[in-house]
Amino acid sequence: MVAREWKQLVNDFVRAVHANTLALKQAKRGDYRMAARIWLRACKSRFCDAKILFNLAVCYQNGLGISKDLAKVIDNNLPMKVTAVNHLSAVIVVLF
């Protein structure tokens, strides 16, 4: 991997971490719609981690800022992503 690719990889990772922090701040303010949008965008990146998936799954399950829509959960491939990161709580939230 060349230096440019490493730099992009690090930048993508930092953006994902920052996105989760920003979304948590929005959720604490009660702006679940913005929080869900941020988590959804971060979930589509290559650095979608267990925390992001869990938080997004909770939004879907409870209708916080996003509709309770199982089809969207499936379309966004959340069940496969949560099992890939081995986050049991997120798996339970997504599937039930």
53: pLDDT strictly greater than 60: yes
Separation CA 91–CA 80 (nearest Å): 9
Q: What is the pTM of this model?
A: 0.68
Of 52, 46, 61, nearest to 82 by C-alpha is: 52
CB 67: neighbour CB atoms within 10 A? 10
**Residue range(s) defining the domain that contains residue 88:** 3-95
**In the structure, what pLDDT confidence band is assigned to residue 9 with cuts at 50, 70 and 90?**
confident
Overall number of domains in the chain: 1
